[in-house]
Chain A
Amino acid sequence: MSLLSVRNLSAFYGDYQALFGIDFTLMQGETVAIIGANAAGKSTFLRAITGLVNTRSDKFNYQGNPLDGSAASKIVEMGIAMVPEGRRLFPSLSVEDNLKIGAYSGRAGKWTLQRVYEMFPKLRERSEVSGTSLSGGEQQMVAIGRALMANPDLLLCDELSLGLAPIIIKDIYDALPAIKAEGVSLLVVEQDINQALAIADRFYCFQEGRITLSGSPEDSSKANIATAYFGRSQ
């Protein structure tokens, strides 16, 4: 079943156009990666899905329901949860409160506070502490846990590796297969190409607001990817 179905999507920040004619699909159970350099439009695409930027499209559906025009606060009810770029934990909330607020929409499912703690045991020890006083890697775990508490069908991960040391990045990405195994589909936006392609079934490469390459990691050569990532003049 198709979860995300996008045809000819354009996105705008005021008058400034950030995405041009994006065609994109994501099937249930898939893990799709979006790679690209800084300001390529990757995060903008995620923001378009979560209703935070203005869009125009021929088709922009989630499970058959239209996404454009949806209020951002309705997205999670539809089954989409986001792990935002930079984690964006709530400073006034403890770790446990940050996790609990993820469940605000009241969607039922397998992900409970206990399951999140089982997945990230370190957080149980630090549950009363303010979210922002944790290390970067721990914060990322909280951000993922918070998104999981909404029991999503689709998890959007925006730059999970941002600002983290390689060994921490590996730990974070090692947690993803367990999430996949529970039937959650993943849309992973990443600047770290290796990690992204290692877990993805398919990928898209964005450059300056357009898709320059798409396919599966096995079928695409490194040279093609580099060209698509950096653009023609490299």
Chain B
Amino acid sequence: MIEWINSIVQGVLTGGLYALFATGLAIIFGVMRLINITHGDLIVLAAFVAMVIIETTGLNPFLSMLAVLPIMFVFGYFLQRGILNFTLGDDLLPPLLVTFGLSIVIQNVLLQIFSADSQRLKVGSIETTSLHLTNNLAVGVFPLIIFVTAVVLIIILQYIFNSTDIGRAFRATSDDPTTAQLMGINNKHIFGLAMGVAMVLVGIAGVFLAIRTNFDPSIGPSRLLYAFEAVIMGGMGSLWGTLAGGIILGVAQNIGAKLDPGWQILAGHIAFLIVLIFRPRGLFPRTFDE
């Protein structure tokens, strides 16, 4: 029995990591209705950027974020204004295809530069330390940190979206880009900022991913799929929903793994389908379309 509880708790904490992958995607999806196939590869890109910074400066991975995050923000802003802004519109295909193309480019550029070798960022003992909640139940400290980070980030993002001028502008532009312009909002700039913010989240996700597991240029697409599943299960427009979606995914995967190790990922996908059968728009959809 205790082992099942253990699995569920591990699943919840893994959910935190998936939520971390997903919040950036949720913002892009929510503000711009952009389906960003590169998202997973950008997480991997951030991990490699962190790796390079660590190797050149000797900083520890957490501190490397001081450099990684601004780099990712600027990269995201120019990616949006330089390329992705031109794909926005009613048609589903252009952003899908452009980001598909970019995904291939990023994966293979990383492959050319860094080779297919597996990498890992080291932070020392914190990776393996456990916290004993009860006599029988232990949780990893690092997964706990990831979960708490996800929650804190969501709280911050909720505040930004609900109570600040820029957050209001994000929401207005997402609702009605034309009328937003009449308010003086420069859509192209706003979308650039939204992507910049999303890339900061991707940067955090990338560094945590790189500490938690081995990474190489090819693991982007599967992270993307988990992120999408979390966002879609949660419902568009809901950041807490994204966390819920991530948790469902993590728990389903862990229960699946407990039944049979080969079923781990499959269980996650099946949970996704089940949620969508009953709630085609996700658990907590906030907006009025799709």
Indicate if A touches B (C-beta under 8 A).
Answer: yes
Binding site for B on A (CB under 8 A): 50, 52, 71-77, 81-82, 84, 88, 90-93, 97, 100-102, 104-106, 146, 150
Q: Give complex CA distance A84, B287 in Å.
A: 22
Tell me, yes or no, whether B85 is within 8 Å of chain A by CB.
no
Q: In the complex the two chains form, is B182's CB within 8 Å of A76's CB?
A: yes
| Residues of B contacting A50 in the complex (Cβ-Cβ under 8 angstroms) | 182
Q: In the complex the two chains form, is A72's CB within 8 Å of B182's CB?
A: yes
Instruction: State whether A90 and B171 are in contact (beta carbons under 8 Å apart), knowing that A84-B179, A104-B165 are contacts in the complex.
Output: yes
Tell me, yes or no, whether B169 is within 8 Å of chain A by CB.
yes
Q: In the complex the two chains form, is A101's CB within 8 Å of B168's CB?
A: yes
| Residues of A contacting B264 in the complex (Cβ-Cβ under 8 angstroms) | none
Q: Give complex CA distance A92, B286 in Å.
A: 8
Tell me, yes or no, whether B278 is within 8 Å of chain A by CB.
no
Instruction: State whether A150 and B179 are in contact (beta carbons under 8 Å apart), knowing that A92-B286, A92-B287 are contacts in the complex.
Output: no
Q: Give complex CA distance A106, B168 in Å.
A: 14
| Residues of B contacting A100 in the complex (Cβ-Cβ under 8 angstroms) | 165, 168
Tell me, yes or no, whether B222 is within 8 Å of chain A by CB.
no
User: Which residue of the partner chain A has the closest CB to B30?
Assistant: A92
Instruction: State whether A73 and B168 are in contact (beta carbons under 8 Å apart), knowing that A90-B179, A92-B286 are contacts in the complex.
Output: no
Q: In the complex the two chains form, is B178's CB within 8 Å of A76's CB?
A: no
Given contacts A73-B185, A93-B172, A102-B183, 6 further A-B contacts (CB under 8 A): A52-B181, A92-B174, A92-B237, A100-B168, A104-B184, A104-B185
Q: Give complex CA distance A57, B181 in Å.
A: 23
Chain B residues numbered 165-204 whose CB sits less than 8 Å from any CB in chain A:
165, 168-169, 171-172, 174-176, 178-187
Shortest CB–CB separation between residue B106 and chain A, in angstroms? 31
Chain B residues numbered 19-66 whose CB sits less than 8 Å from any CB in chain A:
none
Shortest CB–CB separation between residue A143 and chain B, in angstroms? 10
30 sampled A-B residue pairs with Cβ under 8 A: A50-B182, A71-B181, A72-B181, A73-B187, A74-B184, A75-B182, A75-B184, A76-B184, A77-B184, A84-B179, A88-B176, A90-B171, A90-B172, A90-B175, A90-B180, A91-B287, A91-B288, A92-B172, A92-B174, A92-B237, A92-B287, A97-B168, A97-B171, A100-B168, A101-B180, A101-B183, A104-B168, A105-B183, A150-B183, A150-B184
Q: Lowest 4 CB-CB distances: which A-B pairs, in order?
A: A105-B184, A72-B181, A76-B184, A90-B175
Q: Give complex CA distance A92, B287 in Å.
A: 7
Map CB proximity to A onto B279-290 as digits: 1 under 8 Å, 0 otherwise: 000000011100
